[in-house]
Amino acid sequence: MVWHPLPSVDQYQIASLHSLRIFFSADNALAGDPCHWVALGQDHLLLEQGSGASVPAKWLNARRVEVLLPADRVLLAWLDIPESQRRNLPKLLPFCLEDRSLLPPEQCHIAAAARCTAFGWPVAMVARDWLAASLKLLTTNGVRPTAVFSEADCLPIDTTVWQGAVIQSDIVVRTPSGLVRFAADAEQWPVSLSLALRKSSTPPEKLLVHLPAGVDGAEQAAWAAQGPVPVEWRAGWDWRSASLCPERVNLLQQGFGHSALSRIDWPQVRVPAILAGLLALVAALGVVADWWMLSRQSRALEREVELAARRVITAGPLIDPVTQVQRALQAKTNQGGFLSMAEQIAPLVAPARLESLRFSSGGMAIRVAAVEGAQLDALAGRLRAAGLAVEQRAIESGTSWELIIKRGG
């Protein structure tokens, strides 16, 4: 691992803006100094660095804790799966890279990117036990990663310019078909790179290889001069401050995505949370405004109902104006009904014996038993005196009489 001097920093920016990046070495036993770490500020400014899994406590609450695994430990590939099969992706992952791994599927951990890209669906595979041991080493020292990526995810993917980097003693190249790895001191053009060029429908214009500090591109030029694609060397690549490509795959998924290993990146969700709060506030203000307007309309309608009720109910309190008006109107409608007419006629008919009674909208017909002429005339006279029109007619040879009574006589 090559280290170079840090830029001078007047004071540590220990706030919610810094992040922590940890790189694991390829040591199988995780012995000695298995990992190296750097604390990054704004614009990837290097604040502090060190070796070992023990990170100073002041950096443990970083807003992002990224772990980079060695490129030779992680298999990166693209799956030809359409976006519509997103729901079936978890079922397909355990078997999608079975032919590319020497380990059985149950010993492999496979994760997929959040979305499909133009090259396919990015997936990454790593040995499950090795990843679990690495994360356990970090959590034992108080480090809780928010994301785990491959070291090769620091290399961008481009169809016109394939980019790679010298990592340890190998060269790793990101291609649209996957990851190509070959020895940096190769004397001939690598066969794996030739196969990747054949798979590509559009050959790249050039191959750009990034060089870490202290590595000379002239020493790697033996194989570069024999290929069909020109090779360009560029110095200054550093895993500590390199940006991650958009097609990166976070390995903290499924069984490794427990809340103990991942946390919410509050600084990144602060702005969306504020916008959501503002939208909720606007919605609440709209509800209050609607309630206020409807309340005013309700009070105005109540006043109109009370004014209309006073035209019908001139005296007395108005407790329920609508019900009171309905009852008053019903009472006026029933003034010419059976009950009111029967109540008016009943005391006038006595002492005659009533045999039957018929009521219709035209009036009431009563049949009384045979009475003397003077008594019948007196009954008819009492009815007429009460303002009723009376018509007499004999029934059944004078044994009974029928009086047809109408109002307004």
331 within domain boundaries: no
Q: Are residues 119 and 67 in the same domain?
A: yes
302 within domain boundaries: yes
How many other CB atoms sit within 10 Å of the CB of residue 129? Answer: 12
178-183: strand order across its sheet: 178-183, 170-175, 161-167, 206-211, 231-235
Query: CA–CA separation, 153 vs 174, rounded Å?
Result: 9
Q: Are residues 103 and 135 in the same domain?
A: yes
Closest-CA residue to 229 (of 269, 262, 268, 197): 197
332 within domain boundaries: no
Q: Are residues 127 and 64 in the same domain?
A: yes
DSSP-derived secondary structure for 313-352: --SS--SSHHHHHHHHHHHHHGGGSHHHHHHHHHHHHTTS
343 within domain boundaries: yes
CATH number of the domain residue 52 falls in: 3.30.420.380
Give the pLDDT of the chain (409 residues) as one tens digit per residue: 444 444 444 434 444 567 888 887 755 444 455 788 888 887 778 888 888 778 888 888 888 888 999 888 888 888 877 777 777 777 777 777 777 777 777 888 888 887 777 777 888 888 888 888 888 888 888 888 889 998 888 888 888 888 888 887 788 888 887 788 888 888 888 898 888 888 887 888 898 888 887 777 666 677 888 888 888 888 888 888 888 888 888 888 887 874 333 445 566 678 888 999 999 999 999 999 999 999 999 889 888 888 887 777 777 777 777 777 777 766 665 555 666 777 777 777 777 777 777 777 667 777 777 667 777 778 888 888 877 787 777 776 556 777 777 765 5
How many other CB atoms sit within 10 Å of the CB of residue 58? Answer: 13
Closest-CA residue to 250 (of 84, 59, 67, 395): 67
Q: Are residues 117 and 28 in the same domain?
A: yes
Q: Are residues 138 and 238 in the same domain?
A: no
CB–CB of 215/189 below 8 Å? no
Query: CA–CA separation, 285 vs 101, rounded Å?
Result: 58
Q: Are residues 44 and 164 in the same domain?
A: no
Largest Cα–Cα distance in the chain?
149
Q: Are residues 211 and 341 in the same domain?
A: no
Q: Are residues 389 and 294 in the same domain?
A: no
Secondary structure of residue 25 in the 3-state scheme: coil
Q: Which of 302, 326, 350 is the last residue of a domain?
A: 326
User: What's the pLDDT at 13?
Assistant: 43
Query: CA–CA separation, 179 vs 152, rounded Å?
Result: 8
Closest-CA residue to 110 (of 120, 121, 326): 121
Q: Is the peptide bond before 351 cis (omega within 30 degrees of 0)?
A: yes
36 within domain boundaries: yes
User: What is the chain's length?
Assistant: 409
DSSP-derived secondary structure for 357-379: EEEETTEEEEEEE---HHHHHHH
176 within domain boundaries: yes
Q: Are residues 199 and 62 in the same domain?
A: no
Q: Are residues 150 and 35 in the same domain?
A: yes
Query: CA–CA separation, 202 vs 205, rounded Å?
Result: 9
Query: CA–CA separation, 4 vs 214, rounded Å?
Result: 9
User: What's the pLDDT at 408?
Assistant: 59
pTM across the whole model: 0.56
Residue numbers of the domain that contains 309:
271-313+319-326
SS (H, E, C) 149-217: EEHHHHCCCCCCEEEEEEECCEEEEEECCEEEEEECCCCCCCHHHHHHHHHCCCCCCEEEEEECCCCCH
Q: How many domains does the chain have?
A: 4
Q: Are residues 122 and 1 in the same domain?
A: yes
CATH number of the domain residue 359 falls in: 3.30.1360.100
Q: Are residues 308 and 360 in the same domain?
A: no
Q: Identify the residue whose tokens are 């006026």.
A: 332
Secondary structure of residue 59 in the 3-state scheme: helix
46 within domain boundaries: yes
